[in-house]
Amino acid sequence: MKALVTGATGFVGAAVARALVRTGIKVRVLARPDSDLRNLEGLSVERVAGDLRDPASLRKALAGCRHLYHVAAHYSLWAKDPSIFYDINVAGTRNLLEAARDVGIERTVYCSTIGAIGLPPGGGLGTEETPVSLTQMAGHYKRSKYLAEQEVHKLAKEGLPVVIVNPSAPVGEGDVKPTPTGQVIVDFMRGRMPAYIETGMNIIDVDDVATGHLLAMEKGCQGERYILGSQNLLLREVFEILSTLTGIKAPAIKLPRSAVLPLAYLNHWLADFTGHPPRIPLEGVKMAKYKMHYDCSKAVRELGLPQNPPEIALGKAVRWFKSHGYA
């Protein structure tokens, strides 16, 4: 059996590809010609060139595959031209899933994001069923992923065999870019975190996220969503774990979000003017308003999602970043 994995040069996609290879499944990966291939080094996969914006290349990449893991996305808290989020994350997802339908792919797992899951307005844990709308999505990335999910739901209702997974904040090995969560870890290790805005996140080992994709393929119900997460933590608690792992003192200064927001707007304006990413991402500061805490029990109960403790996941990330010269 052969599976196509999109996004395999990235953090989560590479973990999915590694997990599939370990199970003995033949893996084909879709990558743009200019992709950073470091995450594929030493991995026994077939590589094909293609682009989510090119439907013909997608049909060619899918030919001969039974399963599809769509993990690719444009993931960033800022872009000089925001249209890239919608071209890749929304239109690209529609292109790929329509191609999968046309060539007869037996089953698809679509990787969405925890950001597309709602949070109760009065506080508490978000679930797969928490109501949410486009107006609640902060930033182009979240909005584009929410709209992409709507495309997936529409195709699922038309009969496409697809399962949706919503990873929380993965950490671990292979975060080459790094992701926003990975950048927090790198900045902490470099001593570039003198202060912070308190917020909440759900940490999960990226290898457990990858396993969750495979379990969703095997056990997930068509058209259903599964939150792939583990432990809910405050950012202060994440820093305390990182301090224990590294010996670096955790930041003691907690800044009010209202004090940082004007600086974030200024950074955003400068980024748009210069074309260089902002040091203080506006969308990240906006998201800090909400504690991104979720109930992950559905995936644990129905899929058997592993729940490695955050100390293990963060330890993997620290060791990987250190051994690869990030800090």
DSSP letter for each residue of 25-71? -EEEEEE-TT---GGGTT---EEEE--TT-HHHHHHHHTT-SEEEE-
Query: What is the model's pLDDT at position 122?
Result: 80
pLDDT score recorded for residue 268: 64
Is the N-terminal amide bond of 178 cis, ω within 30° of 0? yes
Looking at residue 263, the DSSP 8-state letter turns out to be H
Structure confidence by residue, pLDDT tens digits, 137-147 = 888 899 999 99
A 10 A CB-CB count for 167 gives 24
Is there a contact between 216 and 156 (Cβ–Cβ < 8 Å)?
A: no
pLDDT at 286: 67
In this structure, how many other beta carbons lie within 10 angstroms of the beta carbon of residue 45?
A: 18
Which domains are seen in the chain, by residue range? 2-170+204-229+293-308 (3.40.50.720)
Segments of the chain scoring below 50 in pLDDT? none
pLDDT of amino acid 276: 74
Q: What is the pLDDT of residue 130?
A: 93
pLDDT at 294: 96
pTM of the shown model: 0.93
Q: What is the pLDDT of residue 81?
A: 80
